[in-house]
Structure 1
């Protein structure tokens, strides 16, 4: 899952980035409204954490611009605890959730995971296909009850495909969702990750749709 953090306070931004990275998220950071709008409009994110009090362009304006451009990624706005009108304005502008400062990092992680699941049409953090059981919150995978050891990128590829069951996912989409913006991206690595996954969870689990990408079929 790939997340954009928009926060102009460097220490808080770093804390969020570190915590989310430890939980398996791919994280990009923006520090003002202009940068945030550009990144959100040109990169693909599974969710955005958006502070409203930003330099150059305020967060509410950024959110309204994204929604006017038909960008539908889930957005959590960060607000001061006492400013109820900010929460209401943010939700009315198209935010999906809000978090009042100060907040616990664990709550941020849980809210982001829930938003991404709901955006993919999944109510639970656990997705099961045949004998494969993936727990997004715990970052674990089992096959017929036995633990499967995956690298971080293998888990990200598998979780994205399982969150989009029945859909054909292109290599380009997988690359966008498993690598940070400044990472040296190579589409050939997706084939490597898929090949490793097939060895670990079964060769028939991930279907190659020639010329289009990969798909995990629904039961």
Structure 2
């Protein structure tokens, strides 16, 4: 999952980003409204965390302009403005949720899980494909109920495959949602991580559930053996 954090308190912004990366998310940071608005309009994110008191362009104006072109990407407002009218205005402009500062990081994690599950129409916290399971809350994978040891990047890959199983996923899509844009579609980094994930799944399952479609990408299919 690729998340954009627009927050002018740099220490808070970087702290949130670090925590989300530890959870397996890819997080981009932005400290002013003008750059934040540009990123919202030109990049493709799974979720946007948006402060309201921003230099350059106010958070509510960012939200208003963003919703003119994108009505589906979840937006979670993070703001010290705790008055009911502020919350109502933000939600009326298209925010999906509103979290008042200060907040506990665990609550932010829960709000993010809720919004991302909602986006992908995933009702259960546990994703499954055949004998493979992935708990989105604990970020633990298993095969036939036995733990599967994965790195953070491998966990993010498996989660994305499970959310989009039986569909070909291109390298470009993986870069947008799993990497931070520091690699390109020709990078060996993608192949290395996918190869490692496939090897672990093949060892646990006795077969490889991820197929490489030459020139297109990769697909996870439910094959029970």
Q: 1:198, 1:190 → 2: CA distance?
A: 12
Question: Following superposition of structure 1 onto structure 2, how do residues 149-168 of structure 1 map, counting pairs within 5 Å?
Answer: 149-168=149-168
CA contact (8 A) 1:30 1:36 kept: yes
Give the C-alpha shift of residue 198 in structure 1.
1.8
Superimposed CA distance per residue, residues 23-69 of structure 1 (whole angstroms, 9 cap, x where no aligned partner): 22211111111111111222221111101111110111111111112
Aligned-residue CA RMSD (Å):
1.8
Counterpart residue number, 2:11? 11
Structure 1 segments, 4+ long, off by >6 Å, are: none
Question: Contact between 1:172 and 1:187, CA under 8 Å: does it hold in 2?
Answer: no
Within-5 A mapping of 1:45-56: 45-56=45-56
**What is the distance in 2 between the residues matched to 1:117 and 1:164?**
12
Give unpaired runs (5+ residues) of structure 2: none
Q: Please give the alpha-carbon distance, in whole angstroms, between the structure 2 residues aligned to 1:58 and 1:159.
A: 34
Number of residues of Structure 1 aligned to a counterpart in Structure 2 = 218
Describe how 1:161-200 pairs up with structure 2 within 5 A: 161-181=161-181, 183-185=182-184, 186-200=186-200
| TM score, norm. by length of structure 1 | 0.92
Distance 2:219 2:118 in 1: 20
C-alpha distance in 2 between matches for 1:190 and 1:71: 30
Q: CA–CA distance in 1 between the matches of 2:101 and 2:95? A: 16
CA distance in 2, matches of 1:56, 1:200: 48
* Gap change, CA 1:89 and 1:28, over 3 Å in 2: same
Q: Determine the structure 2 residue equivalent to 1:109.
A: 109
